[in-house]
Structure formats: structure tokens, C-alpha cells
Structure 1
């Protein structure tokens, strides 16, 4: 399929602010010209010029455009037009005045965000997903759409109380032009289904699992995979070992626990067959327990928490609209010349798709290193080239995430260093600059390590360090001597799990003797 041909299509829109730059496209806020002075705010997603010559990237963008043009549902972001500006494709979408669920969880705090609010958001999002799953071609043939990235970042709540699913950038349909290679992953690992984590073909039940993860987090009031790096999550998903909801939330409502457990079943056949089934269960639970919390109530709550951000964006838009003068033609506006509305929480349609793609085979077979940002560093004997490749995959995922943050302008102090100063130093610089004859800074001393020995019985038990797989049976390795606390956990079929908290202050020897589970069937232990 060739790209849509509309050389003048882009000229209908006047960009007024930059939203961000993603892996495949630049995104900006624009005003659309209409008759009799009618103006409408839209979001423009424009394929990046340097990628338009890449057939695979072009096919992915066309897939998104073709699918987006067919979607028309109150709970799915609306696409107005797909066009071409010279050699660059663009998608014009509705402007959503609100916040993604992910930003709401950050602003309020996942531990403080009420469960009924989150369940209402998920219920309406499921309605949008089910519509996409049921989408048919013009001749009535099902096209089997799967979002593949149903996550808090892609569920949007407007201040008027409308919940919408956004960003079908890596969604898959039967008539897609691009092809996902076997063993390659696309999506956010923390919300992937087991089959998606293995790079297998997925169907609508994969999206049901992803929503189940968000539901688990709403109930437990914390991230489901908190403390796990991406490779550890892939390993756990492959084994079907999910964190226990009852342990994370002892007071969970039994009915809601049953719903969540079914949505998160390891085998797709054991889950809800459709998003509509899960939607009906959550709608019934809301009606029986919280008098049917409405979307309008959710919108009012979100608006109250983001009043300052909303006013800031409205002021910027009003200032830009005052400068718009429609004369039938105007010079092209460079994205770099536009004011940025991506610094901090913004009201936008988050469609900065930078799909993650890597092979999980080595990552699952090799015990991953523990994330140094949360649990310190650990070194193990017997590392192979496969482990290095797995580490590179993890870094590639982290790089993609960082790229997204930079595109949105969310940069914390210290991530980027300021550019070298070329102007003469002023009074302030003179006060803070080091003397010219100051000695060069000394390199940081090498990190000290402590020895960690773990003895476990039974011998076939699996060991975990801070949630990341460590070894089967006994383990010997090192930890950074930083005084941090770590949790060593042992698990084995037919035995009760056991944990011990340690502090990396001196050499450690940990002994874990698991006790048999009285409720487990007797006989030969199941293979691990």
C-alpha cells in the first residue's frame, strides 16, 4: 500500500506548541482552520523525516494510520485525518484535555489513589479495547486488533470525565503491513502477558492480562513488579510466577480478588475470553460496592488535582491563538521554534511510540543482574556472553524509556549536564569556578564488596535476591559493601517459601531450610 497523497493536507493546520518527539514521530499541538473563522485544537503526529526512507518504520506508521482511521468509539482517541506533507506522513487526532492514568498515579500517589476511581477508569478503558478487538474490515471480516501496550501511560482521563485508550502505535491487526519477527517483543515489559513476553503471537486475551496487571496494582496500591528489573520480570512471566495479591493486600475484597486472578491467569484459555466480560464483572462490582462510581466524578477528581497544570496549558494556548492570523498561506513553522508544553504534566494525547524490540531467549535463560538503582550491584561467577547480551537488551529498554522522558521534557536535575560555557565568566561564575591552579579531581575509590554465601535445602530450591532470580540450589557471589538491606528468598514446590533480610556490611552466610507445606500433596516433588 502506498502512502496517502495529500500534498496540501498539512497546510490546514498551524502548529502552535511542541508536545514531544518520539521514536517514530514528532508530536505537536496545532489549530485547524475552519470556515467562518472556526478554529479547532488538534494533535498532529508527523513521521520523522530521517525515518521515512526506512520501509519497516514507514510500514509501522502506515499500520497505525490505517487502524486509527477506522477507530470510532467514545473510549478510543479519535483520528480526524491521515495525510501527507510532501514525503512525510501525518495523523491528525483529537486534543484530549486531561491526564494519562500514569500521571494521575504519580500526582496522587498509587497508595492514596482510591480503588473505585481506578476501577471506573479501567472499566471504561475495557469498553474501548473491546471495540477495537471487535473491529471488522469493510467487508465484515474481523481484523483481530490487539493493542499490545495497554498500560497506565496509554489510558487517558479528560477533565470532563471521558476515559479513552490511546496510542495504537504498536497495535497489531491481521492486515498489518509490518511483520513482528518471531522472538521479538514490543510493549512495556511490566504490563506484558506471558505469551507476549515470549514473543509469541497474541490475541485479545493478552490485552485482558495487561489490564489485569493495572487492576492488581490498584488493589495492592503498589506496582506489581516493584523491585524487579525487566529481565527478572520476563523470567517470572515465563515460569508463570506472579506476585501474590493476597500477600500484597491482605484485606482485598474476595470478589475483586477472584476477578483479578482470572484476568491474570497464565494460560490465555483460563482468562476472560473478551474485554467485555471483564468490563461486565468490574461494572457489577462497582455498582454493588460503590454505587456505580461515574466517569464524570473521576474527571472532576482529576481536574481538582491538576488545576495549576491545566491553567498553565490554557494560558499558553490562548497566547498562541492570539498570534494566529489565517491568510491562506504562511511560512512553515519549525518544531524547534515552537513553545514546549512537554515540561512536566501536560494535557495531550501521548502517542510518542518508540517500540521496544529485543529477543528474550537469552534474557530468560541467564540469571539477570539486580538493578543497581534499587538494590545495589551483585556479581556472580560463571557469567557468559549470553548474560552480556541480556544486559545489553535491558540497557536498550532503559534507553528507550529515557528517550521517551526526554521527548516529553521530563528531565530531572543531574541527568543532563549543562553545555560548556563559551562566554566570559561573570561575577557569579567567578565566585563558583575553581581556581586555575586547583589540582585535578581524584578518581572515586573502587567500591568494596562483601562475600555472600547462601546454603539452601532442599537442594533443588530456587533462590531470589530482591525479587530477581539468583540460582538453583546453593549460591556464592558478591554484593557491593554499601550497607543496604536486601531480601534473600527461597522457593520450592511442596515447601513453604522462606525469606531473610540481610545488610551488605560484612561477609554473609545465609542458611535457609524450607519446611514442607502441610497442604501440599505428598509424593515426588514437582520439577522446578
Structure 2
């Protein structure tokens, strides 16, 4: 379970898988971090070049900026995860964005002579502005603004993932990079076109410098041209400080004049005339998209990237599954559930009885029908059982003569039988199911040739079953059992029923 599976090279606790790019300041690698149980995570590691490690001022500047950058946590900013040193080499560990940078997309668009669709150019710019606005407003622990400025917003530092995400990278190391770039003509030539006039003049820079750079990128995305660029660095400097570029809608008829005006405001030479915050620029772009009925989404950008760069392929590979089942010694815990089943009772993953990926049955866990545990009595009760209303015994003792149901009058009252007392209204009677059962038993006996007297013991048995748990006890008199019914007919072997 090491980086050798992808020809990785051990670098501290990380594994360097492949070199992605080399710049004037650092080398960029795709790396992996491995953990227990087959865990692996793709990361990006930026190693500072060895010749710069001896530059004390550069190293201090790099360290200071890295400490600030690690506090940034936003969806449009590449997160910095770790910072360290291995064998005298300083490095940054960042989240790995599987995709391409904006520079690659612009190069492909120029080759096709087709600028980016206006809605996608706006979408990319809005996402960049959201990340910038977050960083510009970031405060320290004391509540004071950290005054974070990227200083190097350019297409090379804008990542576009294959899922349509837009992320700013290299936040916090631009100051250190500028120290190196000042001595390397080739590098400064590529970055010069995105530098603001105040940045070129050496004046103090603030968040509006980053806004100017966003304006330059928007102009390039919409026209396939940079607003200020000469054949030499000197001509480029002169164009930035004194030149006036054409408006985007005059170079690309697909660009709306309202969008063109937004871009030109971001490119104002005077910082006071520009958008003062990245949030304001994002708001104007979003308002334009809404009024134009354009609603770009990440999926649309992802499709465009795949169409324009068909050779670009994801670098991240699916995690390699474990070679075999994970042993119990690696999992360690002995968990006992509420039924008393322990992890030892569960078959190991990948065993013959249960191949890896199959579900384990309840029988294997001791929870199936063959489980030999304490059997609950059928008449047991639990605290969660619903409370049933008590049965009124007097209602079940409704005076009904076997074989001669009581007649009902129009008002629902039972009429009096000869020699019988007046009875209660029908609404007060309990359900007649028990008495009906006795009547049906008597009819069955009669149909089989048994005398009516022979059916009486069955009546006695039924009533005994119904009322065996219900007795009426008087404090002043003797206990009277339910067997002494009020049917008006003596039961053999018992005293006569009391008269009404």
C-alpha cells in the first residue's frame, strides 16, 4: 500500500507521483497521501527550487505568506493543507484540482480563432471575483483586515476542474515570486500584461490591483487578445501606462455593449475609477447575465473544456482496492451489540461463506429464526404496550334470555318480558358477541339432538371462561361469583338465582 503502484517517490510522509510543471520558483507535483485501510488522497506539492532555499529573504517572505494563506478557506481558492521542509527543501501541500488552467483554454481558443462564449467568460470571472472578495475581506484574530492581495492574478493561476469548478491558486506566494521574477526576463514578460499601472510604477498596491487583472482576463476571454501588449516588454509597459484599448464589443460582435462597459470599467487606469471591490464587479456581471437571460452552470463549463481540449484527461485514478480482506487485528474493536452479538460471530469479509461485497444474513449474526434466546411469554406486557380500557362486567352481564332475544321498541328500548324487570337502553349494553356465541352453541346442541338442559353446562362453562378474572366483592357481604348469572334459570348444582 505505497506510492510504488504509481511509480511514486517517498517525500516525507507523502509520495510524489508525477511532475506536472516547473517554474522559476518551484516544481509542481501530483502527490498522494496513504493511510490505513486503503485510504489515499491526491494532493499537489509545490517544492521550492534548491537554489532559492539559500535566499534568506526569499525564504522568510515565503514562510510569512504561507502562514496567511493557510487560513483561507473558500470554494474558489485552492486550499493550502500543509507546509514543511524535507532535506533542506521547503514545500507547500495544496488540494489537487484535477483539470486545466485558464491559460491552456485561452491558447486552444486562439488556435481555433474562437473566443470563449460570453456567458462562460462571465461565469469564470464571477467565480474568481468571489474568491478574491473573500480573501480581500479576510480578518485576523484581532478583527483587523489582513490586507491580503494576490498580486499575480493571471490565466496560469486560475484552475478549471473537469467538473466545472473555478479556483484561484498560488495565493500568498506572489510577493516571493516577484522577487524571483524581477531577475528573470522570460517570466516577467509573461506576467507583465496582467500587471496594473500602479504595480508597474512601484506604487503601493491594494485589492484594486487584483480587480484590474480580472478585467484583463475578461478582455482576453472575450476577444482572444490582450488589451495591452507590445512586441517587447517596453512596448507593453508603455501601452499599460498610456494606451487605450478598443472596446471588446468592437472586436467581437457577440459581446453585448453592457458587458463591454463592465470590462472597460475594471480596466480603468486610475484605481479610483475602477470597481472598488471584487464583490461589486461580481454583482454587475451577475446582473448582466440575469438581464440577458443567461444562466451558465459548472456543467456547461465542464463540457466546453472537454470540447476545446479533447486531449486533456483526468489525472486522478480510482483508489486501488485492498489486495485481500482486512484482518481482524487491523480493525481491533470488539463490539457487542444490544443482542449480545460480538464481532467474532460475524464472518470475515472475503471468506468462502460470504465473498467480499455480499450482505451477511441475520442467521449468521444469530438474529434469525433459529436464534435460541429467551422466549417472551405470549401474555407478557411491555411498558410500551398501549393501555386498553377495562371491561365493564356489568355490561357483559346484560339480561338476555337464551333463545328469546329481547324485542326493541321504536325508541331503541327493550320491551319487558312477562315476569322480567325493565332493562337498560340498548345504547348502554356491551357488545352482544359473548351472548351470541352462547346462543349459537345452544342451537348447535339442539340441532344435534341434545336437549336444552344439556346445553346449560356449556353456557356455564362459557360464562366461567369470560368472567373467571372478574369478581365482584362487597365489603359488607359475602363474595359473589360471576357464575351466579342473571339469566333467570337455575344452574344444576348451584343455588337458585336471586329474584329480580
TM-score of the pair, normalised by structure 1: 0.53
Within the alignment, does 1:104 sit opposite 2:127 as a pair? Answer: no
2:284 corresponds, among 275, 281, 284, to 281
Q: Which residue of 1 aligns with 2:55?
A: 54
Q: Which residue of 2 aligns with 1:171?
A: 174
Q: 1:153 to 1:121 in 2, by over 3 A?
A: same
**8 A Cα contact 2:135 2:148, kept in partner:** yes
Q: CA deviation at 1:168?
A: 2.3
| SS at structure 2 position matched to 1:191 | coil
Q: Which residue of 1 aligns with 2:75?
A: 74
| SS at structure 1 position matched to 2:174 | coil
Q: 1:16 to 1:240 in 2, by over 3 A?
A: same
Point out the more displaced range, 193-202 or 232-241. Answer: 232-241
1:91-150 alpha-carbon deviations (Å, 9 max, x no partner): 111111111111112223362421211111111011011111112222222111111111
Within the alignment, does 1:161 sit opposite 2:167 as a pair? Answer: no
Aligned-residue CA RMSD in angstroms? 3.2
**8 A Cα contact 2:121 2:222, kept in partner:** no
Q: CA deviation at 1:216?
A: 1.8
Q: 1:21 to 1:64 in 2, by over 3 A?
A: farther
Ranges of 4+ aligned residues in structure 1 off by more than 6 Å? 178-181, 184-187, 318-323
Q: Which residue of 1 aligns with 2:223?
A: 220
Distance 1:73 1:229 in 2: 37
Q: Which residue of 2 aligns with 1:236?
A: 239
Matches within 5 A, 1:399-410: none
1:489-510 alpha-carbon deviations (Å, 9 max, x no partner): xxxxxxxxxxxxxxxxxxxxxx
Q: CA deviation at 1:292?
A: 1.7
Q: 1:138 to 1:111 in 2, by over 3 A?
A: same
**8 A Cα contact 1:60 1:169, kept in partner:** no
Q: Which has the larger radius of gyration?
A: 2
Q: Which segments of 5 or more consecutive residues in structure 1 lack a partner in the other structure?
A: 1-8, 324-528
2:305 corresponds, among 293, 302, 322, to 302
**How many residue pairs get matched?**
308
| SS at structure 2 position matched to 1:96 | coil
| SS at structure 2 position matched to 1:31 | strand
Distance 1:171 1:188 in 2: 11
**8 A Cα contact 2:115 2:222, kept in partner:** no
Q: 1:285 to 1:18 in 2, by over 3 A?
A: same
Relative contact order, higher structure (CA 8 A, sep 6+):
1
Q: CA deviation at 1:230?
A: 2.1
**8 A Cα contact 1:43 1:94, kept in partner:** yes
| SS at structure 2 position matched to 1:127 | helix
Q: Which residue of 1 aligns with 2:142?
A: 139
Q: 1:70 to 1:96 in 2, by over 3 A?
A: same
Q: 1:71 to 1:10 in 2, by over 3 A?
A: farther
TM-score of the pair, normalised by structure 2: 0.56
**8 A Cα contact 2:241 2:269, kept in partner:** no
Distance 1:11 1:321 in 2: 24
Q: CA deviation at 1:24?
A: 2.1
Within the alignment, does 1:248 sit opposite 2:233 as a pair? Answer: no
Q: Which residue of 1 aligns with 2:17?
A: 16
1:154-203 alpha-carbon deviations (Å, 9 max, x no partner): 11110111100112254359xx9x8999xx99781111111112121111
Q: CA deviation at 1:306?
A: 3.5
1:268 corresponds, among 264, 268, 271, to 271
2:132 corresponds, among 129, 135, 143, to 129
Q: CA deviation at 1:273?
A: 0.6
**8 A Cα contact 2:208 2:275, kept in partner:** yes
| SS at structure 1 position matched to 2:312 | helix
**8 A Cα contact 1:98 1:303, kept in partner:** no
Matches within 5 A, 1:375-394: none
Q: 1:34 to 1:281 in 2, by over 3 A?
A: same
Q: 1:19 to 1:246 in 2, by over 3 A?
A: closer
| SS at structure 1 position matched to 2:42 | strand
Q: Which residue of 2 aligns with 1:208?
A: 211
Q: Which residue of 2 aligns with 1:94?
A: 95
**8 A Cα contact 1:155 1:163, kept in partner:** yes
1:342-372 alpha-carbon deviations (Å, 9 max, x no partner): xxxxxxxxxxxxxxxxxxxxxxxxxxxxxxx
Q: Which residue of 2 aligns with 1:65?
A: 66
Distance 1:194 1:88 in 2: 35
Q: Which residue of 1 aligns with 2:295?
A: 292
Q: CA deviation at 1:266?
A: 1.2
Distance 1:64 1:304 in 2: 37
**8 A Cα contact 2:229 2:236, kept in partner:** no
Q: CA deviation at 1:244?
A: 4.3
Q: CA deviation at 1:250?
A: 6.0
Matches within 5 A, 1:356-435: none
Distance 1:180 1:216 in 2: 24
Q: 1:319 to 1:19 in 2, by over 3 A?
A: farther
**8 A Cα contact 2:76 2:131, kept in partner:** yes
Q: CA deviation at 1:294?
A: 1.3
Distance 1:79 1:134 in 2: 18
Q: CA deviation at 1:243?
A: 4.0
Q: Which residue of 2 aligns with 1:26?
A: 27
